[in-house]
Homo-oligomer: A and B are copies of this chain.
């Protein structure tokens, strides 16, 4: 309460300083790194001076020397720079309160608690990054935008007036008054769960409590979502990426943005259907089947939450906020919405708007007052996961044209720059995930993940997940051990087919050259077509003609989607490419380009974005403004429906060839080491350009 009054007078003083009317008893304070400065009466606490100047210093306890968030450094070296000759002694000396804090919780040398440090004369004070509310979190990739910390859930320590029979007012009203007077947090509502424990909590904390306030629940209101007796400082959030195959969760400390624990599990909906469309079919065949899938995904998230909380040694009740991303079908099933409309044209979403709902309404066992934010969907096949990718990769802030590709059963494609953004999805099918491939399997120990084919002998060598040796190295079989070699994972399918193409085993049209059987036992006839044998043992692992066709169809769909967006933007090349998701993390972009999955682009401009959808969820978790941002951006994105674009079919057909008929790959030729006995020549065929390799 005092802070309000004092802040008012400090403001007046700051105004006086602006006008040059400085009082004898006033002292100048300069804050670094912001450079903000002002004059305040001698005796003003530094925290209060900072607040009235709008200097970003954190505080949960509101100046009571409990939270230690408001630490400052007295940097003598800085003094001369600002032309102030005064020194550290122009601040009140290290107080008994600070000594107690130091003993209890530790304080680095040179650090002071700004709430306990009074201004005695002119001084320069440094606010270290960890004391700032709006901290910046630098991300691993150099080009990625830093994440600003500005969580939608904030803690506020308050001292609540006790009930007084002479001035009857309810406990809740006095809590609201304390929030307004001590933190300027007004217009708060609360739910019944809070009310249920309110009186007990207040008395248990002897009228000193910590309140968690969500600044924008459904409808836009502020809500008091949790209340603890005394001082409390745990604020965690959960970012969840619901993939068709796996669900990943990141437990994140809201005030720092640090990931405290991560975990992933298989999506239990797999038992209802491997891919999205088979799950939608399941609902069509079993009305009400969506309810089982809804229950299973929610249960899985609760399980993940328990696991990450155990790892981080906190309780699920400490999860105060959550952000969810997922493709439209996952999005609908999580929300308990029947996904059948997404199974057929016109692919209408029930809702594509961002959603904030109480966690308990979604059966999530977090804090009783926690809310869940679900990112907006872009279109019927471009989901909240794609919105997460956008939030992570920022094409809407890019000067040049960026291509974002998130490959799953459908590829979600976003293309553009800050001028214009387009999105579509392309029906790649599950081939890239290793499904519908004869020896395909999920990425797991035993799965082939890398393949090279000798251009002369056509002999393969490969690596499997869980073993560091190549298959032609001594000790490989021993190292692989009992697991053995079990199949080919999605990323290796790309590599082996690209290698088959580079070594001439398959032609530009994707046909396996059976005549090579004479040269190598690796090429064998199977029925009316041929296959390439990677491993003749048990299991027998080969790439069949059907496998090549499946990948051709998938890559043609992906390329045609990209190409369609390029047409709409009227551009003939993209400046940067980000491959998101597990697939994007594992494939060698070189091979993706050899096969023609993505348009030509300087190879150093093609990068994996990692789990960008999950990163987007984390950003929305720690930064309330990022939610506004993505909601605005999603509205701006132009949605292109490939199914109704006649040019999509044309691009699709043309992209069946390897790499494809419409675009040369100058950037690729510089990087890929082509077999020495091959020359690249370009001939014109079918109206498009075509590259042919001669042996």
Contacts and interface: CB of A to CB of B under 8 A. Distances in A.
Interface of A: 163-166, 168-173, 189, 191-192, 195-196, 198-200, 217-223, 335-338, 341, 345-353, 357, 361-362, 377, 379-380, 639, 641, 643-644
A192 B336 contact: yes
Contacts of A171: 341, 348-351
A166 B198 contact: no
Given A172-B351, A221-B218, A335 B165 contact: no
Closest 7 CB pairs of A and B: A219-B221, A170-B349, A163-B348, A172-B351, A170-B352, A165-B641, A168-B639
Nearest to A382: B168
A202 to B, nearest CB: 9
Contacts of A639: 168
B350 A165 contact: no
A611 to B, nearest CB: 25
Contacts of A199: 337-338, 341, 348, 350
B351 A641 contact: no
Given A163-B347, A170-B377, A192-B361, 6 more contacts: A168-B346, A168-B379, A171-B341, A192-B362, A217-B219, A219-B222
Contacts of A350: 170-172, 195, 198-199
A161 to B, nearest CB: 11
Nearest to A162: B346
Given A350-B198, A641-B166, A189 B219 contact: yes
Contacts of A195: 335-337, 350-351
A643 B643 CA distance: 76
B351 A196 contact: no
A164 B336 contact: no
A570 to B, nearest CB: 19
B170 A348 contact: yes
Contacts of A163: 346-348
Contacts of A165: 345-347, 641, 643-644
A298 to B, nearest CB: 12
Contacts of A172: 349-353
A173 B635 CA distance: 11
A218 B189 contact: yes
Contact of A192 (B166, B335, B347, B352): B335
Contacts of A168: 346-347, 379-380, 639, 641
A644 B189 CA distance: 31
A600 to B, nearest CB: 29
Nearest to A642: B165
Given A336-B192, A346-B163, A351 B170 contact: yes
A362 B335 CA distance: 22
A231 B223 CA distance: 36
A379 B173 CA distance: 12
A335 B223 CA distance: 18
Nearest to A349: B170
A630 to B, nearest CB: 16
Nearest to A216: B219
A362 B217 CA distance: 20
A349 B357 CA distance: 28
A377 to B, nearest CB: 7
Contacts of A377: 170
Interface centre among A168, A350, A377 (most CB of B within 10 A): A168
Contacts of A170: 348-353, 377
Contacts of A173: 351-353
Contacts of A644: 165-166
Interface centre among A166, A198, A199 (most CB of B within 10 A): A199
Contacts of A196: 336-338
16 contacts: A166-B641, A170-B350, A170-B351, A172-B350, A192-B336, A192-B361, A192-B362, A196-B336, A198-B337, A199-B350, A218-B221, A219-B220, A219-B222, A219-B223, A220-B220, A221-B221
